[in-house]
Amino acid sequence: MNHFHRGPDGALWAEDVPLARIAAAVGTPTYVYSRATLTRHFRVFDAAWAGVDHLVCYAVKACSNLAVLDVLARLGAGFDIVSGGELARVIAAGGDPAKVVFSGVGKTEAELEAALTAGILCVNVESAAELEQLDAVAGRMGVRAPISVRVNPDVDPKTHPYIATGLKRNKFGIGWSEARDTYRRAGELAHIEVVGLDFHIGSQLKETAPLVEAIDKAIELVDTLTADGLTIHHLDVGGGLGITYREEAPPSPDEYAQKLIARLGDRPLRVVTEPGRVIVGNAGVMLMRCLLTKRNGDTDFVVVDAGMNDALRPALYDAWHGLEPVAAPRAATRTVDVVGPVCETGDFFARDRELPEVVAGDLLAMRSAGAYGFAMASNYNSRRRPAEVLVDGDGFHVVRDREEIADLFASERVLPEP
Ligand code: LLP
């Protein structure tokens, strides 16, 4: 459930604010997030695990705006980070470093040092080499680094191949057959403290079966490690729960949590989760304006002022996002391609889509844009990245200004004379 709805005027609103009001004040393209939706999604997800000791670590990569992190931190969220930049954001937003887990296949020494200095909950170690490197960094700092080993359970998550991460062929985690040895080695290292076990098999998962398969394997490993004399305090089951973009029917957070909780038995394990998309995906839309319409051959094009640099998912994954006129939709419809100004044929938001008639000047909203929307925006074609707005009841806050033209090359320079 989200708080984007058609108001009494038939136009699209976020909570108690007409989206047209935001576009008039801030311009387009602009990402708009709904605080009530973020709050609801976090609470529903968190409540799904109420029966067990747990920590929900929001995956910062999905949408890392400070205001979004702030809203979630105030609700008690922990955070899953994948870089020193994300750690700095969490801290700047008031997040608690003691609730941070640090994932990723390639972490620099500087990033590991920053994480240990901040006192994070756990580093999710993804290779034998990283384990040795972390031990050395922690040794230099005179501390012990809390770790989980991210194991690669080799299960097929049945999602887009670019976002499947738990197959043997993928770069993520430590192979199943090496996991026990890695833990044995971790137990020997003076500056490593084993605290958990971690997996993440992929994103936009639409069924629980692959997760259940992964958790069963993980639990078997926890039992083996316990017998080996290690104490595994938490099991991190990653993120990945899918959302409805179009007609997908992923399990509810409750169904998902219950399926996994059922496998834990009476083991004294705290469950850590790393949801991103399910928290923020349907809590955001992207506003854009139609610049013009044109017809080439047999195709009608709606050219908008946002492009693949602003919202990459359709170009990169052929992802389907709902597109709606912001004003009350006209009765007449037309089958169109909605495209951006970027010089690539892949720069489209929809192809052969039947939409209510759109004319130059109309505002459109791209739905389900909160996750991996602004977060993947770039300056390609020297385009300024969009503004971001957070709606809160009947008011809204600009939580990121649109970039200025001067920002585009402020950190560049021409060659010295002569
Ligand atoms: N934990 C780890 C270690 C991850 O790699 C990810 C996502 C998550 C948690 C959060 O997954 P989520 O709950 O959001 O599914 N750009 C792609 C998605 C990339 C996901 C990368 N990892 C997209 O737009 O679909």
Say if residues 28 and 288 touch (Cβ distance below 8 Å): yes
Residue 312 confidence (pLDDT): 98
d(CA 301, CA 335): 9
pLDDT band at 171 (very low <50, low <70, confident <90, very high): confident
Query: Which residue's CA is minimally distant from atom 19 of ligand 1?
Result: 163
Ligand 1-lining residues (CB < 6 angstroms): 59, 62, 80, 103, 163, 165, 200, 203-204, 238-241, 274-278, 313, 317, 371-372
pLDDT at 168 over 80: no
Query: Average pLDDT of 273-293?
Result: 98
In contact, 52 and 46? CB cutoff 8 Å: no
CA of 362 to the centre of ligand 1 (A): 33
Strand partners, 293: 302
Q: Tell me, what's the pLDDT at 287?
A: 99
Strand partners, 262: none
pLDDT higher than threshold 80 for residue 164 = no
Q: Is the pLDDT of residue 167 over 90?
A: no
* pLDDT reported for residue 196: 98
And the tokens for 380? Answer: 């390609």
Mean pLDDT of 342-367: 97
Quote the CA–CA distance of 234 and 6 in Å, as a whole number: 43
What is the mean predicted confidence (pLDDT) over 45-71? 97
Candidate from 56, 61, 124, 149 with most ligand 1 atoms within 8 A of CB, to mutate: 61
Residue 343 bears catalytic tag: yes
Quick check: 203 pLDDT over 80? Answer: yes
Ligand 1, atom 9, residue with closest C-alpha: 239
Q: Which residue has its alpha carbon closest to ligand 1 atom 8?
A: 239
- Extents of the domains making up the chain: 4-33+281-409, 35-279
pLDDT range class, residue 157, cuts 50, 70, 90: confident
Long-range contacts of the stretch 77-85 (C-beta < 8 A, 24+): 77/42, 77/46, 78/121, 78/272, 80/239, 80/274, 80/276, 83/111, 84/108, 84/110, 84/111, 84/114, 84/115
pLDDT at residue 170, rounded to an integer: 79
- Of the residues 63, 122, 290, 343, only one is catalytic, namely 343
- Per-chain mean pLDDT for the chain: 96
pLDDT reported for residue 74: 98
Q: How confident is the model at residue 123 (pLDDT cuts 50, 70, 90)?
A: very high
Neighbours of 142 (CB within 10 A): 7
pLDDT bracket for residue 138 (50, 70, 90) = very high
pLDDT greater than 90 at residue 151: yes
Task: Tell me how far the alpha carbon of residue 11 lies from the centroid of ligand 1, in angstroms.
Answer: 32
Ligand 1: atom nearest CA of 204 is: 15
- On the question of pLDDT at 276 being above 90, the answer is yes
Asked if pLDDT for residue 183 goes beyond 90, the answer is yes
* Ligand 1 atom, smallest distance to 278 CA: 13
**Model pLDDT, residue 172:** 83
Give the distance (Å) from ligand 1 centre to CA of residue 378. Answer: 18
Percent of the chain with pLDDT over 70: 100
Task: Report the atom number in ligand 1 closest to the C-alpha of 62.
Answer: 14
**Mean per-residue pLDDT for 2-17?**
97
Looking at residue 30, its pLDDT comes to: 99
Predicted local confidence at residue 226, as pLDDT: 96
pLDDT-derived band at 165, boundaries 50, 70, 90:
confident
Question: Distance of CA 11 to CAs 305, 319, 342, Å?
Answer: 20, 25, 28
Q: Is the pLDDT assigned to residue 218 strictly greater than 90?
A: yes
* Least confident piece of the model among 112-126, 142-156, 165-179, 289-303: 165-179
Which CATH superfamily includes the segment(s) 35-279? Alanine racemase (3.20.20.10)
- Per-residue pLDDT, 105: 94
Give the CATH H-level superfamily of domain 4-33+281-409. Answer: Lyase, Ornithine Decarboxylase; Chain A, domain 1 (2.40.37.10)
pLDDT at 12 over 90: yes
Is residue 31's pLDDT more than 90?
Answer: yes
Q: Does the pLDDT of residue 169 top 80, yes or no?
A: no
Q: What is the pLDDT averaged over residues 317-324?
A: 97
Top pLDDT among 176 and 100 is at 100
| Cα 271 to ligand 1 centre (Å) | 18
Mean per-residue pLDDT for 262-289? Answer: 97
pLDDT digits (tens, 9 = 90+) for 394-411: 999 999 999 999 999 999
Q: What's the CA-to-centroid distance between 165 and ligand 1, angstroms? A: 9
The percent of residues above 90 in pLDDT, for the chain, comes to: 93
Pocket test for ligand 1, best of 277, 313, 376 (most atoms within 8 A of CB): 277
* CA of 165, closest atom in ligand 1: 5
Residue 231 Cα, ligand 1 centroid: separation in angstroms?
Answer: 28
What is the 164 CA–ligand 1 centroid distance (Å)? 9
Residue nearest to atom 24 of ligand 1 (CA): 372
Residue 1 has pLDDT above 90, yes or no: no
